[in-house]
Chains A and B, each alone.
Chain A
Amino acid sequence: MAQVSTSESVTDGAALDPGTVVSAIVVLVVAYAAGRVLSAGLTAVADRLAQHRFRVTLLIPLSKFAVYGAALYLIVTTLFELTSAQLVAFSGLLGAAIGLGLKDLLADIVGGLILVVEQPYQVGDKVAIGDHYGEITDIGLRSTQLMTPNDTVVVVPNFTFLNDAVANANDSAAEMLVVVEFYIDVDADADRARDIVEDALLTSPYVRVSPEHRYTVLVGDDHYYRTLTGKAYVTDLRNEYPFKTDVTERVLDAFAREGIESPKVPAGGGQELPGE
């Protein structure tokens, strides 16, 4: 009985000639450019929307991953026309490469995919990752970029998210809770000081008060001084520092007018204020 062999060989598929390789490189370059253009365009649209920008920013990493995924699919199936045998052989090579030193890169890419699916944060969020705090400006395949308040761009490998806690201050909302602290002398009128801080919070140009966005002023007693902690939401997380500055300036002016004094350090030294 004649036997018909249908097995594939590693040498089947498209020829790996310079033309195919160049085509693959062109596809990758075009995909990279398309990803950058898409990201820039969506960011521009999002900035124009101001308060509603988070509806657009969540599309940024999704669109980039879709472009890279389509490019990879095009290269694998159309250009190289990899057969099953070739895919198996390639997987073996990839495994060896990972064992030899690409495991961190792969972990970052896997982290990026998980970020896109789980979305613990998205572009525009204010997050704390490790020692870094700032606004997420880009989520890429391998890394996430955030801009600190000092205008420093921090590139965080996506793998970091898989192991470290990430604190998201606004959870993809425009509003964000901001905390402002003041310290007054133990003999100062704490009630009056509290009223001043509350008024300053409520009359700030940047504040947002609603049943979902409540405010409070807490008074703490720390033996040599009293702490007033004002907490309120801002209309936009980008107003975090203008809000703090506005409230602080007006409260300190009011304290000076009303004779509400700063804490005095006792003779012979005493307890330091937080942050000193």
Chain B
Amino acid sequence: MADGVTIPIEQLRAAGLGPQVERLSTAVAEYLDADKTLDRVDSNVAVVSDPFGGRAALLEYAAELLGDRARRHSISGIADADELPAIQGERALILEGCHYLYRRDIDGFDRLEEFLERLAMTNTLVITGWNRYSWQYLRAVERIDEAFPLTITLPPLDAEQIESVVRAHDDGPYPDYVDTGEAGRIKTLDLVRHDVSLPGDRALSVPLVRPNVSWLVSWSIWDDDESIEAVVFEKLRRLSHGTPGIATSLWDRCVRDGADGRTIAPAYIDDPVEECDRISDDAAFLLWLVVALEGVERAQLADMLDEDAIGTEIQTLANKGIVRVGDSEVRLRPLGLHPAVEELERRGLVWP
């Protein structure tokens, strides 16, 4: 499920995406069975996920279901979106990278609005892929959810589902699970907020302490090999926040790049990215752009930000391990996602 990795449908279901797979199957089946008229625009689908969240796998599945009936098109960047694929005349269209249809700048919604206009005037089944952070922003400012009656959001996975993803990603041979006597840094207690309704349409957010039951239970049979394996995957889940692409990146880093490549222990799995705090407002906005677009060309960043500042800000984020800087592009690193999102949430830059 990481970028470039496809998982068979059985593994998708085993990885916990069964309900999402069924919803997509149903939408495609209904469309193929019925004659869609201009009056019925109830088939357009938006697949929404975090970066590295498995969106590509679900769109791949949609392509398999539709076969030759569907044309696939991928938008790889903002500039690439200037040439929108034709929709009229197609039976079905699978369009990846729709978060590149807008720029966060004056006149930046023109391309997106043109796309939505074409959607409204066509009989074609359009299945689209969106970055969650862009989707949430566009839902608030452009109400794009109204154009997609079916929205499939990919949820975070649990430890067993992460294990399925990792086994599909890594053909083996698998490392030996060893006990080094410690598990490294991991939280056994979570602080979660629970909204309590009050009279007068008000709510009070109350912090509650929630133990990490699966982690604590896996510790209870620590001497067993199976439990060490369970602890490893639980730690992968915790550090990746259930994002499959990040879990596989962590796995690769620990196993393939690890000490001897033949063993893995809970303590080997650690997050190398430092916290993303104490950054400037410009750096925070740049961070939002990179998280919401997953990759942005430097020239486009210069259009949206103060050109004099972006070099320094990009370097700051690269030094923290949040982004990877190419010749012309700045891309989000998998392990940089959650520190970045934590800082964006703290600043109120993540749209609900």
Contacts and interface: CB of A to CB of B under 8 A. Distances in A.
B109 A208 contact: no
Nearest to B347: A50
Contacts of A50: 346-348
Of A199, A203, A209, A210, most buried by chain B (CB within 10 Å of CB) is: A203
Interface in A205-231: 205, 208-210
Contacts of A254: 106
Contacts of A236: 347-348
Nearest to A249: B306
B140 interface: yes
Secondary structure type dominating chain B contacts: loop
A239 B107 CA distance: 23
Contact of A51 (B104, B109, B281, B346): B346
Interface string A124-139: 0000000000000000
A242 B281 contact: yes
Interface string B324-352: 00000000000000000000001111001
Given A196-B106, A205-B281, A51 B141 contact: no
B146 to A, nearest CB: 14
Of A51, A55, A199, A242, most buried by chain B (CB within 10 Å of CB) is: A199
A115 B313 CA distance: 43
Contacts of A200: 106
Contacts of B115: none
Interface in B103-124: 104-109
A236 B348 CA distance: 8
B219 interface: no
Contact of A203 (B104, B140, B346, B352): B104
A264 to B, nearest CB: 24
Interface string B76-111: 000000000000000000000000000011111100
Interface of A: 49-51, 55, 174, 196, 199-200, 202-203, 205, 208-210, 235-236, 239, 242, 250-251, 254
Interface of B: 104-109, 140-141, 205, 281, 284-285, 288, 346-349, 352
